[in-house]
């Protein structure tokens, strides 16, 4: 039996909740994580129509990008669309899980998906996050080094980009004197002991601190472990906002805009003055991404593609870049395919369905 908690674990191994923005509300919004999953419906938004679709398809778990509960709710009744959706979900025993800015912010998340849909190469995070990494230094007898390194690695430490098992060690002499109440692995009470030890260094994401330290305690032979944890200022290349990449060949601005319109299936692109310069470097941010405009310019992008751009914000492009607004729904609707592909790889015993409900509240004449 697969429980909702099992699906959440798959989702959060990919897009940890720790990577959502401070204003966000991703996670299990409605329902009981202990329930068995009968079917999964993947949608961009959760609306009443999406809950109806879940009922019709025998799904009791809706996974959406946008959290239907975003700000605090003081009343849950049928007087607005949020209340109607939540009430209907609860009445029909349907859980709602949202994977929002945490999925935007991870490598292989929303923005990488948009970038690959546009055929970009060498895709990387446009604005990498800082203060998401820590370093563990721990001292261990030489003969126990491998067991400890394996345990740290299993807990998720030592991954840098496409490399795992990354660590550094140097051998030296550790010294200690156990007192009468100690129960030392090596040595005797009140006698100074010297042991050849390795000093091991590994990096890990901050959100894994508990898991990594528990693995260290489990695998280390000493009663008292000498270790320290340091916060790193390094940019985390795997986590952050937006994505940037390059087209294999430069193409003209008008050709690219037409290609963009076709690829993202949008009815309308609003864009700033063209610069008579071919497009090759492309920055993207699904949803409202104008806060990344200067990052895109600094990174040398020829065009920045996002949505929800206001009139005065278009001026900020100032001929330094082409700024293109393709619509919020259009920029993120393919997130459904991204989640579908990920879950289909990991889950085989439960039906994973793509929602067929169009939730875009905006129409174009
Ligand atoms: Zn959005």
pLDDT by residue for the chain (365 residues), tens digit each?
Answer: 999 999 999 999 999 999 999 999 999 999 999 999 999 999 999 999 999 999 999 999 999 999 999 998 899 999 999 999 999 999 999 999 999 999 999 989 999 999 999 999 999 999 999 999 999 999 999 999 999 999 999 999 999 888 999 999 999 999 999 999 999 999 999 999 999 999 999 999 999 999 999 999 999 999 999 999 999 999 998 999 999 999 999 999 999 999 999 999 999 999 999 999 999 999 999 999 999 999 999 999 999 999 999 999 999 999 999 999 999 999 999 999 999 999 999 999 999 999 999 999 999 99
> Any binding-site annotation on 328?
yes
58 touches 352 (CB < 8 A): no
Name the percent of the chain lying above pLDDT 90: 97
Q: Given phi > 0 = left and psi -120 to 50 = alpha, else beta, which region is 322?
A: beta
Q: pLDDT, tens digit, for every residue of 134-186?
A: 999 999 999 999 999 999 999 999 998 889 999 999 999 999 999 999 999 99
H helical segments located in 124-208: 145-154
The two tokens of residue 203 are 């990096």
d(CA 137, CA 98): 36
**In which element (H, E) is residue 193 found?**
strand 193-205
Per DSSP, the chain holds a count of helices (H) and strands (E) of 12, 15
Query: What angle (nearest 5°) sits at the alpha carbon of residue 32, between those of residues 207 and 83?
Result: 100
Give, in order, the Cα–Cα distances in Å from 101 to each of 28, 113, 290: 14, 14, 15
Let me know if 72 is exposed, middle or buried by CB neighbors in 10 A (0-12, 13-18, 19+): exposed
Torsion (CA) 152, 156, 160, 161 in degrees, nearest 10: 160
How far apart are the CA of 61 and the centre of ligand 1, in A? Answer: 20
Could you tell me the pTM of the whole model?
Answer: 0.91
How far apart are the CA of 333 and the centre of ligand 1, in A? Answer: 9
d(CA 352, CA 62): 10
> Any binding-site annotation on 332?
yes
How far apart are the CA of 66 and the centre of ligand 1, in A? Answer: 6
d(CA 107, CA 16): 11
d(CA 84, CA 287): 25
What angle in degrees, to the nearest 10, is found between the helix axes of 4-14 and 335-346? 120
How far apart are the CA of 171 and the centre of ligand 1, in A? Answer: 50
Within 10 Å of residue 335's Cβ, how many Cβ atoms? Answer: 26
354 touches 59 (CB < 8 A): no
């Amino acid at each position: 039996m697969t429980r909702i908690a099992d699906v959440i674990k798959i989702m959060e191994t990919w897009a940890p909740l720790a990577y959502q923005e401070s204003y966000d509300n991703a996670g299990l919004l409605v329902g009981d994580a202990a329930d068995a999953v009968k079917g999964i419906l993947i949608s961009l938004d959760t609306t009443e129509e999406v809950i109806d679709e879940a009922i019709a398809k025998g799904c009791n778990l809706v996974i959406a990008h946008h959290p239907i509960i975003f700000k605090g709710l003081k009343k849950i009744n049928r007087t607005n669309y949020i209340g109607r959706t939540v009430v209907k979900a609860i009445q029909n025993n349907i859980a709602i899980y949202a994977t929002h800015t945490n999925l935007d912010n991870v490598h292989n998340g929303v923005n990488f998906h948009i970038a690959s849909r546009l055929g970009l190469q060498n895709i990387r995070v446009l604005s990498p996050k800082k203060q998401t990494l820590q370093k563990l230094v721990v001292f261990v007898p030489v003969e126990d080094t491998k067991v400890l390194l394996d345990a740290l690695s299993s807990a998720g430490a030592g991954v840098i980009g496409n490399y795992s098992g990354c660590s550094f060690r140097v051998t030296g002499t550790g010294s200690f004197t156990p007192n009468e109440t100690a129960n030392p692995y090596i040595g005797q009470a009140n006698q100074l002991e010297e042991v050849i030890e390795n000093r091991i260094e590994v990096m890990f994401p901050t959100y894994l601190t508990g898991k990594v330290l528990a693995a260290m305690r489990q695998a280390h032979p000493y009663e008292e472990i000498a270790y320290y944890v340091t916060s790193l200022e390094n940019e985390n290349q795997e986590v952050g906002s937006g994505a940037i990449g390059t087209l294999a060949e430069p193409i003209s601005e008008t050709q690219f805009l037409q290609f963009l319109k076709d690829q993202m299936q949008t009815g309308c692109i609003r864009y700033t003055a063209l610069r008579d310069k071919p497009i090759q470097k492309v920055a993207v941010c699904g949803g409202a991404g104008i806060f990344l405009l200067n990052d895109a310019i600094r990174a040398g992008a020829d065009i920045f593609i996002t949505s929800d751009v206001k009139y005065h914000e278009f001026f900020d492009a100032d001929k330094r870049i082409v700024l293109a607004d393709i619509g919020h729904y259009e920029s993120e609707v393919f997130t459904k395919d991204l989640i579908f592909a990920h879950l289909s790889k990991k889950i085989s015993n439960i039906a994973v369905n793509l929602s067929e409900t169009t939730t875009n509240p905006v129409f174009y004449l």
